[in-house]
Each structure stands twice: as structure tokens, then as C-alpha cells.
Structure 1
């Protein structure tokens, strides 16, 4: 996977929020409800790009085609975090700033995860 543009992220959010595979029409309905009216042709183009980037898989046996996320939102965010950390010249400084900026609750979760207790 890679990075997402703003419109791609909006479409992925709609897919991640869906309980079942979605069509471009389903995504359109969701975005219309959120005040972001887009043409179905635009959404089909975005979905095609997302499929080429490895974010979604399509079921072409169904009409209209249905799309599902290949990875979860959490997987995507974790990959972004690893990518940013991997690009850092001083990983320790980046980790210090990250840990210094998290809430006490998130710090507790990090401690549990790092200790293997979670």
C-alpha cells in the first residue's frame, strides 16, 4: 500500500465504515449524506485507483461491482506510522516527541503493549 490523497481517503473512510462490501452508489450515498456530493463516475475512477494501489478488492461478479478494503484502517495507520519512523533521521527524537505528546491513557496502553501484557 501507499499514501492516500484527500479524495481517496474520503472514499476509504466510507469503505472502512461499511459493515459489508459497497458499490460506488453506496459510497455516493454515504458521501451525499456527509455533504460531499460526487458523481458516480468520479467515485468509480477513485475506486479503480484504490484497487491498483492495493487498498481495495472488487467483486466483479456482482452488479454493480462491490468493493472491500484489503486492510483495516488500523493497519493502514500503523503502516503510515512505520513509514514515517523509517524515514526519520533520528528515530529516538521522533519517538520521544511522539510519546511526549500522547495522553496518559494512550501512554498506559503503549506501556502494556510494550510489556506484552495486552
Structure 2
């Protein structure tokens, strides 16, 4: 009974969806006027996130090419590597990476495109040698 009482007193934190924290970090970096350190990101996101959690997310985003970093003294300053279009593309790729049947997801996506978007996609694929 003691555990139930303790649990009732503590507010339940909502669990973030897959990729949500990465999107928050990217959005925060995208909104920064200049490169910033991890503590700055941590303060802007809030929610009681640990510094180590922010560093883990930044490191993962670095590996994906979504952010850049530059050593400043003993730490790093971080920047978004892409604008709004790049952030949207990263989210789309993360959704695709989370699915078992990539072909089915892509086929379903393509069939919902407007004729203008389909022409744009065909043009982009042709210009990269992918079609």
C-alpha cells in the first residue's frame, strides 16, 4: 500500500514517442541564433531531462548527420545541419526506418501524392539518377 500512496503523490510523466526527443532537440537547435552548448539545449527543452540524455541525443543526431559540432574549450557547441526541409526529411526517414516493409510504406506514400508532387518527385529522382 505504501508504494501506491507514493505513486499517487508523484505526477506521472508522459513517455515521449519514438523520435520525439530528437525532434525537440533539432527544433531547439534550429531556433538558436548561433551554435550552442548542450546545457543551453537542456534548459530550453526542460522537462527535467538529464544532461547526459541531451548529450546522448546530440551524439545520435551527429551520427545521422542532422547536427554538427565544434570544439570550444573543453566542450562542444552544436548546430542544426539542415533547415526546416532537412528536419522534415529526417523525420520521414525515421518513420521509414521504423517499419518492416519499407517498399509497402514507400508505395503507399507515393500513391497519396498529388500530381504536382509526383512530378516533382519524378524530376528529383531523374536528376539524381534514381529513376
- TM-score if structure 1 supplies the norm length? 0.62
Counterparts of 1:87 and 1:18 in 2: how far apart (Å)?
33
Any gaps of 5 or more consecutive residues in structure 1?
100-118
1:90–1:22 distance in 2 versus 1, CA, 3 Å: closer
- Aligned with residue 16 of structure 1, among 27, 30, 53: 30
- TM-score if structure 2 supplies the norm length? 0.56
Alignment pair present for 1:95 and 2:110: no
> Any idea what SS the aligned residue of 1:57 has?
strand
Q: How many residues align?
A: 89
Residue 113 (structure 1) aligns with? none
> Any idea what SS the aligned residue of 2:49 has?
coil
> Any idea what SS the aligned residue of 1:22 has?
coil
Q: Look at both structures and tell me which one has the larger radius of gyration over its CA atoms.
A: 2
- Aligned with residue 54 of structure 2, among 40, 43, 61: 43
Counterparts of 1:90 and 1:69 in 2: how far apart (Å)?
27
Any gaps of 5 or more consecutive residues in structure 2?
1-17, 97-104, 118-131
Counterparts of 1:37 and 1:45 in 2: how far apart (Å)?
15
Residue 108 (structure 1) aligns with? none
Counterparts of 2:109 and 2:56 in 1: how far apart (Å)?
39
> Any idea what SS the aligned residue of 2:112 has?
helix
1:88–1:25 distance in 2 versus 1, CA, 3 Å: same
Residue 82 (structure 2) aligns with? 71
Residue 7 (structure 1) aligns with? 21
The CA RMSD measured in Å over matched residues stands at 2.9
1:78–1:43 distance in 2 versus 1, CA, 3 Å: closer
Deviation at 1:89, TM superposition (A): 4.5
Residue 25 (structure 1) aligns with? 39
Deviation at 1:74, TM superposition (A): 2.4
Deviation at 1:73, TM superposition (A): 1.9
